[in-house]
Amino acid sequence: MKKRIVVKLSGSLFGLEDMKTLKQYAEFFVKMSKVCQPIIIAGGGKIARHYISHARSSGADESTLDELGIEVSRLNAKLLIYALQEKAYPHPPVNLKEVANAADTGLIVVTGGLHPGQSTNATAALIAEKVRANTFFNATDVDGVYDSDPNKNKNASKFKKISIKKLRSMLVHQDSIAGGYDLMDIVALKVIERSKLKTRILKADTKILEKAIKGSPEGTEITLV
Ligand code: UTP
């Protein structure tokens, strides 16, 4: 069996602006599928936030808003599935068991969110645990974890490695971390810790991801101690 990798793709890749990006990602994952089996989790991005803020202003409750976010992330997942054509499991699995069954087909699997009350990062960690992934890559719009917001502080420096403990304490003081909650959240960290998942936060860029999949230390590695 090929080693499995789990990749959380930031919702920002599924923006309205650019149709080329997804096609590039599809080609990239087909190429990578020769050496590993990609299991991909699509984020909800701006479109999810747009729907959520509309529905919130109409008074919808929080779990309903989460379900809306999940639906959008599944639509994003479908866009990537269509670009992957027959190389992909034909629809986004809706629960962990279905993700595992889909992975057993050997195809590339693309899913969105699964349960209300969590982020796609936490879901991706649970999926990595379930499919016994070799590595969990969180591909996002920053190139790793910084000691302060690199958009605000030009002297911010990037961690090559960061322990779960330190990341957790930074998440508690969200202001002190670039992108804050978006990079990883408490539930995701808990899962990474309990299953000792090899995890890396890195820039959503196919060249960088390819290097990382081949073992290069791109972005920031999350360490257990
Ligand atoms: P995310 O906020 O995780 O997507 O999901 P994102 O756009 O990828 O985030 P970035 O790009 O990393 O910043 C969108 C919303 O969908 C709901 C939540 O409300 C979340 O804020 N969701 C998603 C769930 O409730 N459960 C899931 O498993 C996934």
**For residue 178, what pLDDT is reported?**
37
pLDDT, averaged across the chain: 92
Q: What is the mean pLDDT of residues 49-69?
A: 95
- Model pTM? 0.94
Reply yes or no on whether the pLDDT at 177 is more than 50.
Answer: no
182 ligand 1 Cβ < 6 A = yes
Portion of the chain with pLDDT greater than 90, in percent: 78
Q: What is the mean pLDDT of residues 160-185?
A: 73
**What's the one-letter identity of residue 139?**
A
Contacts by 33-36 with C-beta closer than 8 Å and gap 24+?
A: 33/2, 33/87, 33/108, 35/2, 35/213, 36/2, 36/3, 36/4, 36/5, 36/134, 36/213
C-alpha 44 to ligand 1 mean position (Å): 5
* Helix ranges (DSSP H) in the chain: 20-32, 45-57, 62-84, 96-104, 120-130, 164-172, 186-194, 206-213
Is the separation of the CB atoms in 76 and 14 below 8 Å? yes
Reply yes or no on whether the pLDDT at 202 is more than 70.
Answer: yes
In the beta sheet, which residues pair with residue 222? 162, 199
Among 3.40.50.460, 3.40.1160.10, 3.40.50.300, 3.90.1150.10, what is the CATH number of 3-223? 3.40.1160.10
Q: What is the mean pLDDT of residues 111-125?
A: 94
Q: Where are the domains of the chain?
A: 3-223
64 ligand 1 Cβ < 6 A = no
Label residue 219 left, alpha or beta by phi (over 0 means left) and psi (-120 to 50 means alpha).
left
Reply yes or no on whether the pLDDT at 168 is more than 60.
Answer: yes
**For residue 179, what pLDDT is reported?**
36
93 ligand 1 Cβ < 6 A = no
Residue 67 Cα: closest atom of ligand 1: 25
Reply yes or no on whether the pLDDT at 66 is more than 80.
Answer: yes
**What's the one-letter identity of residue 127?**
I
38 ligand 1 Cβ < 6 A = no
92 ligand 1 Cβ < 6 A = no
**For residue 181, what pLDDT is reported?**
47
Reply yes or no on whether the pLDDT at 180 is more than 70.
Answer: no
219 ligand 1 Cβ < 6 A = no
C-alpha 185 to ligand 1 mean position (Å): 11
116 ligand 1 Cβ < 6 A = yes
Residue 120 Cα: closest atom of ligand 1: 3
